[in-house]
Amino acid sequence: MSLLSPRILIVEDEPAQVEILRFNMEQAGYEVSVETDGEKGVQAALEDPPDLILLDWMLPNLSGIEACRRLRKARKTREIPIILLTARSEERDKIRGLDIGADDYVTKPYSIKELIARVRSALRRPTTRSTDGKLVVGGIEVDIETHKARFDEKTIHLGPTEFRLLVVLMQNPERVFSRSQLLDQAWGITAELDTRTVDVHIGRLRRALARAGARNVVRTIRGFGYALESVSEAAR
Amino acid sequence: MSLLSPRILIVEDEPAQVEILRFNMEQAGYEVSVETDGEKGVQAALEDPPDLILLDWMLPNLSGIEACRRLRKARKTREIPIILLTARSEERDKIRGLDIGADDYVTKPYSIKELIARVRSALRRPTTRSTDGKLVVGGIEVDIETHKARFDEKTIHLGPTEFRLLVVLMQNPERVFSRSQLLDQAWGITAELDTRTVDVHIGRLRRALARAGARNVVRTIRGFGYALESVSEAAR
DNA sequence: CAGATTTATGACAGCTACGTAACAGTTTGA
DNA sequence: TCAAACTGTTACGTAGCTGTCATAAATCTG
């Protein structure tokens, strides 16, 4: 998910509806973009994938159902939660939407409160937003889902920041990260911290790893930053 | 279970709901039959026992709760998983639903995806209910049907909320849940509560577990949330 | 080698997230 | 009906995490 507020793409042709949706979603703290037909909606989603899509059922150019199907086919948009907006009179059709992979649907007239609740819930759903799975690099094992880190069967105890730092490094073993890049990825874009702070946390991470027996794992690249040693030179 | 696709009996009086449910269940690969009141529902289930029953709470003729009770009494239907569908305003009733022996409940408005997931999960349970209608993690045993929890032969006394919380955690041992996710799952997606409320209930759950001798079961992940420890790490 | 530059580390004050008790408002069950 | 049980919120103490700085150590440069 974006580090800032989640981005929602609204695909809806009726201007009045658009305004209602836009207003409420913005109120709820989301960043909103709008497309007014199915074709453009799919295009926009492919070019710059949002975190969630609110998709009207009846659309000019490309029906909601077809748009939905296309979004599910493309890799870039496959995982994005889609909530269908359908009118009551379109009852029968709307149902079919779920079959093609919408996450949820809401019937008009809908309660804004309910819609927001569903949006929030969809964004939180772990199944959609899964970077999970285990990361294994040079004897170190990190499981994001259970939030556990181990080396050689021994649990590595890490603070929140150290954990995020380790995850970032492990997602790209061997790759060199500058201090600013690490700040971006492990702290968030908005962090305005002294880059020296990274040093300190790298130090703390190293100590935690050492306590579990993993040494020489985080490599210092003088003048550039840090990287993870993917081949365990510690196992010597 | 039937040799062909599992058969689901839907007992629900609102036509719109029926259509949504029927369509989605058929899409998910189940064979569907429908009854529109409690009396007929029980009859149909007795005559030709389905593999699972989706039971609306508010029904003409015979309330969901009563239907549920009758289904649990009859030998032919005793083993059939029942999922209760309840509206949010009927919140407190739903709790009673679990007492009567429903396997699970879903509050409206529910996400279709979630409902399907629960149906699948209920059907996945082997027919040997004695072992698998129960959740067992690290010495703790929870029986959703009877609404009872035990640790080491000792009964754990839990309030309704604590019980739901424990069930959610036990359905995914080790997995880390954020406070919001726990609110979604144990309270419902429309719940608008302070996330700190979760802390308090976790505390209550811990105390209840401790009274039965189960310690260090609920792990705190600072900055993230909570998870269930599947292997007792009492050694600390 | 000396001086310059960069990194490692210990110390520390401030802060945040967590655990818990207390409480008032409800619900439940006898 | 009343007593007991349950719920969500608040307040407060505390452990542990965070970011900064000062200083030591390492590395580079000429």
B68's CB contacts (< 8 A; 6+ apart) are B55, B82, B84, B97, B100, B101, B102
Length of chain A: 236
Claim to verify: residue B111 and residue B171 sit in the same structural domain: no
CB-nearest to B27 from A99, A121, A159 is: A99
Claim to verify: residue A143 and residue A184 sit in the same structural domain: yes
In a domain, B108, yes or no: yes
CATH code, domain with A192: 1.10.10.10
More confident residue, A74 or B130: A74
Cβ of A113 near strand D (under 7 Å)? The reply is no
Nucleotide nearest the Cα atom of B224 (by C1'):
C17
For the stretch B101-117, pLDDT in tens is: 556 666 666 677 778 87
- Closest Cα of chain B to A99: distance in Å? 6
Claim to verify: residue A20 and residue A118 sit in the same structural domain: yes
CATH code, domain with A11: 3.40.50.2300
CB-nearest to A104 from B16, B113, B184 is: B113
Count of beta carbons in the 10 Å neighbourhood of residue B94: 23
In a domain, A81, yes or no: yes
Q: Choose the weakest-confidence range: A142-146, B84-88, B124-128.
A: B124-128
Kindly state whether A146 is in contact with chain B, defined as any CB-CB distance less than 8 angstroms. Answer: yes
**Residues of chain B with C-beta less than 8 angstroms from the C-beta of A113:** 190
Instruction: Give the per-residue pLDDT at B109.
Output: 62
User: Mutate which of A147, A157, A167 to test chain B, going by most B C-beta atoms within 10 A?
Assistant: A147
Claim to verify: residue A32 and residue A104 sit in the same structural domain: yes
pLDDT of residue B189 exceeding 90: no
A139's CB contacts (< 8 A; 6+ apart) are A151, A152, A214, A232, A234, A235
Claim to verify: residue B108 and residue B16 sit in the same structural domain: yes
Q: From residues 171-200 of A, which are strand D contacts by CB within 7 A?
A: 187, 191, 193-194, 196-197, 200
A227 pairs with which residues across the strands?
Answer: A219
Burial environment of residue B149 by CB neighbours within 10 A (0 to 12, 13 to 18, 19 or more): buried
User: In the structure, what pLDDT confidence band is assigned to residue B6 with cuts at 50, 70 and 90?
Assistant: confident
CA B134 to chain centre: 11
Q: Edge-to-edge strand order for the sheet containing B177-178?
A: B177-178, B225-228, B218-221
Q: pTM of the prediction? A: 0.70
Residue B116 φ/ψ, nearest 5 degrees = -60, -40
Share of chain B above pLDDT 90, in %: 25
Share of chain B above pLDDT 70, in %: 77
Domain with B31, as residue range(s), is 7-127
Claim to verify: residue A17 and residue A103 sit in the same structural domain: yes
A154 pairs with which residues across the strands?
Answer: A151
Kindly give the parts of chain A with pLDDT less than 50. 2-3, 89, 91-95, 97-98, 127-131, 233-236
Query: Count of A–B CB contacts within 8 Å?
Result: 59
Query: Do B113 and B82 touch, CB atoms closer than 8 A?
Result: no
Rounded to the nearest 10 degrees, the angle between the axes of helix A38-47 and helix A64-73 is 20
In a domain, A202, yes or no: yes
For the stretch A203-227, pLDDT in tens is: 999 999 999 998 889 999 999 999 9
Q: What is the mean pLDDT of residues B8-23?
A: 84
